[in-house]
Amino acid sequence: MSTHQTRTPGWKLTRRRGTALILGGSLVLGLAACAIPDGPVTAGTRPNQPSAVTTPTYNPETDPARLALPLASVPAYRAATPDADGWTTNAMTDATGDFTWRVVDANGQPVKDYRPGDTVAFGDPQTYTQVPGVLVFRGNNARSAPAYGTAEVKDAKLQVAWTQDTGEVRGDGSYWPGAGWTGQPLLVHWPEATRKAMGYADEFTNDANFTEVIYPTFTGVIYRLDLATGKQTRAPIETGCGYKGTGSIDPRGYPLLYTGQGLNDMNGVNCPWQYRIFDLIQNKQVADWTGSDPAAPRKDWGAFDSSGLVNAASDTLIEPGENGLVYKAKLNATFDPAAKTVSVDPQLTRMEYRTPSSHKFGIESSAVAYRNLMFASDNDGNLICWDANTMSVVWVRDVGDDSDASMVLEQTPDGVFLYHGNTLDKRTPGSGAAQVTNLRKINALTGQLVWEYTVPTLNDQPNNGGLLATPLLGTGEISDLIIFNVSKTSSLTQGDMVALDRKTGALVWKRHLRRYSWSSPVQITSTTGKAYGIVTDSGGTMHLFDPNTGADLSTLSLGKNTEASPAVYGNMIVVASYARRIWGIKIS
């Protein structure tokens, strides 16, 4: 059996991320997972394997004023003066040419002498949220925590605990069932006062163990489910406009959901692009801004796939857009549990930038943050670092091709580093460029390359090969590893997971997948400290694997292509698949 989407004559496609298509007027879906084993695991060396598992220490500081780095102390920073149109120019990192940026108003006019308000600076990733759970894509500002807590693992088996049926939508010659890339659910353990304010049934309000699943989906329906049972906790929020990326819950525990629209054609009905904010007490949208922004350099596409980061101390949201703007929103958010009210009134600051390769514009990846420095990669092959306070660009590196996967950030005594990889988009056959995915470690403060590992990759327009999954930054017994999940390597249907030594970039193991994957791998840590890995693939298989070796321990069919990324809370794994279903999976 095969999950390859065969292209027939006359096929039409104008969609973005996703792999289920309508081709030549007929529906082609990823087929159910087959009982065909994956390819062999190739072993390398492991020189830096930890000899003992230690609990990492971290700085609990959360005061932005003390966390913010003076830009002059950042090695890559170079002072510059804006021109008459507000553009400031500096040199690219390790490349010829310059990059420019400016702050603009709602009409695209330069904001002269922009002066920030409250200081925006993020603390250690372990301090990102004030409530338990996975409240944003990959859990924190480093995108390094897609799982919360530990799991009691005895048998290393996966079983379905519950399912929730979802719908489907067609548009732009494509078919969107369930949830897709990046499509991670949000898992939040609300405090008692919030549970009482929310309007749940007593079985949830009075349950101290209650954890809620909040899941925006392709059809524009936002599901609210009980993690333990899959029961609906509140009526779904039906917005009528679809979501592809991952939303964010306010990390202060405020009942606010932030999520960007990813589809604008819903069964032939146009949905104007919006970034949306929802009041989870009233269960309705209460604020928004348009993706069809007059200030945007990209006029034809206004989606928001990026999962916004909220800086709790400064009451600020950072959200890159696919329209070529980076937004900073002063939220003016308040929450009164006793009065059972929450409010928000976002005030926007916009930043635009250009480089020698800027042509398409737009950021699909979710930003990572180290203190006041933010990082994201874009559709034109730029990796940018900007200051969340002044909204000035600090450095830009040309990474050679479109980069959609969100990076992961690592803080060590030796420095601060980004792990990045590209898709294969601009480097088409015949372009003269190497058909490879470049997996890289980059110094976050200088933009300089630390090491690089290449994986041969096939270009398959418009559903790219390469790295679409955020890499897994190992902890505990795999704290020496960074695990990448690369799609469409040896064929258009297959892929490879690659585990590299974080210090050297040397291969530790490589696992061939018979069905490629866009889903981000997740580490589950048992109560004994043993590490397990979870990844799903385009054949609809969820793999429970040993991240020390790459070998499967158990598998489970989720019916069809599962390109969304799972989130984990304790023993429970949640993810949606193209089988038009949200799955609650228990690891035992």
Residue 283 pairs in a beta bridge with none
CB 538 within 8 A of CB 515: yes
| pLDDT tens readout for residues 214-261 | 999 999 999 999 999 999 999 999 999 999 999 999 999 999 999 999
Q: What is the pTM of this model?
A: 0.94
Strand order in the sheet with 325-330: 88-91, 98-104, 347-354, 325-330, 316-320, 309-311
pLDDT attached to residue 475: 97
Residue 394: helix, strand or coil by DSSP? strand
- What CA–CA distance (Å, rounded) separates 393 from 374? 9
CB atoms within 10 A of CB 588: 13
CB atoms within 10 A of CB 267: 9
Reading the block at residue 556, the tokens are 């489970």
pLDDT attached to residue 288: 98
Which residues, other chains included, contact 135 with Cβ-Cβ below 8 Å and sequence gap of 6+? 128, 129, 186, 187, 188, 248, 249, 250, 251
* In the chain, % of residues over pLDDT 70: 94
CB 182 within 8 A of CB 246: yes
Which residues, other chains included, contact 80 with Cβ-Cβ below 8 Å and sequence gap of 6+? 88, 89, 90
- Any idea which residue has 């070796």 for tokens? 549
- What CA–CA distance (Å, rounded) separates 374 from 532? 30
pLDDT attached to residue 25: 31
Between the alpha carbon of residue 229 and those of residues 191, 283, 566, the distances in Å are 19, 21, 17
147-148 and 567-569 as β-strands: parallel, antiparallel, unpaired? parallel
- Any idea which residue has 């930038």 for tokens? 353
Domains of the chain: 21-587 (2.130.10.10)
pLDDT attached to residue 83: 96
- Which DSSP helix (H) or strand (E) runs through 173? none
DSSP state of 294: T
- What CA–CA distance (Å, rounded) separates 283 from 199? 10
| pLDDT tens readout for residues 493-549 | 999 999 999 999 999 999 999 999 999 999 999 999 999 999 999 999 999 999 999
Residue 198: helix, strand or coil by DSSP? helix
Phi, psi (rounded to 5 degrees) for 470: -70, 130
E strands, 166-208, are: 168-171, 174-177, 186-188
Residue 490: helix, strand or coil by DSSP? coil
CB 51 within 8 A of CB 300: no
DSSP state of 543: E
E strands, 229-377, are: 237-238, 248-249, 256-260, 265-266, 269-270, 274-279, 284-290, 309-311, 316-320, 325-330, 334-336, 341-343, 347-354, 368-370, 373-377
Between the alpha carbon of residue 24 and those of residues 10, 18, 31, 154, 354, the distances in Å are 5, 17, 18, 48, 38
CB 484 within 8 A of CB 497: yes
pLDDT attached to residue 16: 46
Which residues, other chains included, contact 335 with Cβ-Cβ below 8 Å and sequence gap of 6+? 252, 253, 254, 255, 256, 341, 342, 343
Long-range contacts of 271-279 (CB under 8 A, 24+ apart): 271/220, 271/240, 271/241, 271/242, 273/302, 273/303, 273/304, 273/323, 274/241, 275/304, 275/308, 275/319, 275/321, 275/327, 276/239, 277/344, 277/346, 278/222, 278/237, 279/255, 279/342, 279/343, 279/344
Q: Which residues of 411-442 are buried (b: 16+ CB within 10 A; e: fewer)?
A: beeeebbbbbbbbbbbbeeeeeeebbbbbbbb
Low-confidence residues of the chain: pLDDT under 70: 1-37
pLDDT attached to residue 78: 96
Which residues, other chains included, contact 200 with Cβ-Cβ below 8 Å and sequence gap of 6+? 210, 233, 234
pLDDT attached to residue 37: 61
Single-letter amino acid, residue 352:
E
